[in-house]
Amino acid sequence: MLKGFVFDLDGVITDTARFHYQAWSKIAQDDMGITINPSVNEQLKGVSRMDSLNVILKFGQRENDFTEAEKEALATKKNDYYVQLISNMTPADILPGIQAFLDQLKAEGYQMSLASASKNAPRILNGLQLTNYFDQIVDPASLHAGKPDPEIFAKGATLLGLKPTEAVGLEDAFAGIQSINGAGEFSVGIGDPAILNEADLNFTSTAEISLDQIKTAFATWAAKQ
Ligand code: BG6
Ligand code: MG
């Protein structure tokens, strides 16, 4: 029986990818001499802060040029700039269709948790005025491995007291869909179905999300589990 929803944040609830990109572009250029591009940005989605830095250093062929302490300082500098960029977020930054979807889930009594790799997630939910919708938030600092490892989505369900087969996970990144599937939950992809081709159900954008369609597809999937 469907009892709860485990949400990714960036790209599902709000579009922070552009701010991550803006912050990384500046630090990469100013402090590493690396010019990143949108295809590098794709590789940063869903990936932790330090892993993002490693992706950029590898892209710039500079992976051996910085000490761990220097890398920590670069990641902190990127985050300080990113925090400035997200400091003015308001409910106007919620992606289309999401507020209505969350209201519907709340009205129908579903539990909700957040499974974001971002340590800034509580701050962002606060700016969006969505904190009260979420019963639990997975602390990414508590994880052993990030997406595509199943741990974060598995935890998103167990924190709600749910079995994997009672939960739906929502994601815009391929690594996130792999995490949901690995956790044994029903996966809903938001974005290009050719990229999110392992999702159990796909919507091309948040504006298309339909709880009725999720319920129908979930029932077919659950019958086979
Ligand atoms: C994810 C983003 O949600 O959070 C990644 O998709 C980001 O791009 C990661 O690197 C970590 O975010 P933060 O806010 O902890 O640096
Ligand atoms: Mg995302």
**pTM, rounded to two decimals:** 0.93
Q: For position 45, what pLDDT does the model report?
A: 87
Q: Is 52 in the pocket of ligand 1 (CB under 6 A)?
A: yes
Sorting pLDDT into bands at 50, 70 and 90, what band is 178? Answer: very high
CATH superfamily of 4-15+93-223: HAD superfamily/HAD-like (3.40.50.1000)
102-146 tens-digit pLDDT: 999 999 999 999 999 999 999 999 999 999 999 999 999 999 999
Q: Is 189 in the pocket of ligand 1 (CB under 6 A)?
A: no
Q: Is 47 in the pocket of ligand 1 (CB under 6 A)?
A: yes
Which of 97, 91, 79, 96 has its CA nearest to residue 124? 91
Topology of domain 17-86 in CATH is: DNA polymerase; domain 1 (1.10.150)
Q: What is the C-alpha separation between 184 and 221, in angstroms, rounded?
A: 11
- Tell me which DSSP letter residue 191 carries: S
- Report helix, strand and coil shares of the chain as percent, to nearest 5: 50, 10, 35
Q: Domain limits of the chain? A: 4-15+93-223, 17-86
Q: For position 77, what pLDDT does the model report?
A: 98
To test ligand 1's pocket by mutation, which of 14, 19, 21, 47 has the most ligand atoms within 8 angstroms of CB? Answer: 47
Distance 15 CA to ligand 2 centre (A): 9
Tokens for 114, please give them. 């957040």
43-97 tens-digit pLDDT: 898 889 999 999 999 999 999 999 999 999 999 999 999 999 999 999 999 999 9
Q: Is 30 a catalytic residue?
A: no
Q: Is 8 a catalytic residue?
A: yes
What is the rounded end-to-end Cα distance, in angstroms, of the chain? Answer: 11
Sorting pLDDT into bands at 50, 70 and 90, what band is 42? Answer: confident
ipTM of this model?
0.98
